[in-house]
Amino acid sequence: MSSPAGAGRTTPRSAGLRVLRIAGVGVVIVLALVAILTALRTELPRSPGVMSDALGPENGEPVDDYLARAVKSLGDDGENPATGADDLRWALVTAGRAWTVPEASGVVRELPRVSGLYVQVPVEGVAMPVTGVTLAEPVAGESGREQVFDRGVRDVVERLRGGRPVGPGAQAPPDADRADATAALTVSRIRSGAPAIIGLLARGTPAQLRTVAGQPGVRAVEALPADAVWERFAVRPLQPQQVDAAFPLPDDAPVPSA
């Protein structure tokens, strides 16, 4: 029996449809491969709130270990410039004892930038608050950083004068009365001229930072890698009374009157 006319033969229209279907499948496969390769080569974005770097000792870290780690972070005098010896680094400059404004200003006089200071008035047997403030560089007409640091210390005074947090959702510290007393004592002693600067957040090259580390009264200078980004790292100041390890200070003595 003969087949009907045209059966089994491919018409131009059916051939064109087949080509389009094959091409469509090919496009889908190519797009899928591109998407997979792109996903493999793309790093997940960092969360803005993640602090990947930190300055200062870890909780409970032996102080001697931290001091050695800080020295290592600065490299050495024979560092090859190709490895980034000329790159500016954020660094924590730690005082051996609390500094006055002129003393702190003198320590970092040669550094290109100082962006923060940390204040604490040491009292034996009392865990006094550590307060940090951000600094602006000297403005027009100012010859150095003393006025900048003085404004920073006054900012600390104003902040501590505010007392305990208030408003919806605000939580008082476990011993609010003691916190108020230590804040008032800090304000009183700063106003009387007591040394209170225990740390500085500065920026400089490793060589500049090593020079600062060698000055009398400087306990440590710890630097971050050159790619560390401002406000994307944590700062944990080493307190002068933390001698053996970075544990919370004893807090069992009465708070002196302001």
- pLDDT for 199-247, tens place per residue? 999 999 999 999 999 999 999 999 999 999 998 999 999 999 999 999 9
Is pLDDT at 251 greater than 90 in this prediction?
yes
Q: Give the separation between CA 196 and CA 236, rounded to whole angstroms.
A: 16
Higher pLDDT, 83 or 68: 68
Model confidence, pTM: 0.76
Contact 55, 222 (CB under 8 A): yes
Could you tell me the pLDDT band of residue 175, with boundaries at 50, 70 and 90? confident
Residue 98: what pLDDT? 97
Residue 82: what pLDDT? 36
Per-residue pLDDT tens digits for 17-56: 454 455 554 544 544 544 443 333 333 334 444 457 999 9
Q: Give the separation between CA 254 and CA 258, rounded to whole angstroms.
A: 12
Residue 153: what pLDDT? 96
Residue 106: what pLDDT? 96
b (16+ CB within 10 A) / e for 204-219: bbbebbbbbbeeeebb
Contact 131, 157 (CB under 8 A): no
Is pLDDT at 71 greater than 90 in this prediction?
yes
Per-residue pLDDT tens digits for 72-128: 999 965 444 434 568 999 999 999 999 999 999 999 999 999 999 999 999 999 999
